[in-house]
Amino acid sequence: MMEILDCVNLNCPMPIVKINKALRNKITGDFITVKANDPAFKIDLEAWIRKTKNSLISFEVSEEIFTAIIEKRT
């Protein structure tokens, strides 16, 4: 079962802080699902992915909620 990280109603910088913390106790190849609605979430997450060299598997929007699936690569 994939871990779902709920970042709905959280503002900058909390979504990336929480993602970073959640990935700390994961191993390479693990996935997590993140839900958020911060309007800057997409651009921030993409920058975070590039910087930390993890990968973004999917990114979807429905009813103003973003759902991202991240794979731990490092």
Interface residue list for another protein (CB under 8 A) = 9-14, 16-17, 19-21, 47-48, 51-52
| Distance in Å, CB of 31 to another protein, minimum | 19
The 8-class DSSP code of residue 62 comes to: E
Residues 22, 2: Cα–Cα separation, whole Å:
12
Distance CA 74, CA 64 (A): 30
Q: Which is nearer to another protein, 19 or 68 (CB)?
A: 19
Q: How far is the CB of 74 from another protein (least distance, A)?
A: 9
When the beta carbons of 30 and 44 are compared against another protein, the nearer one is 44
For residue 46, give both structure tokens.
Answer: 């993409």
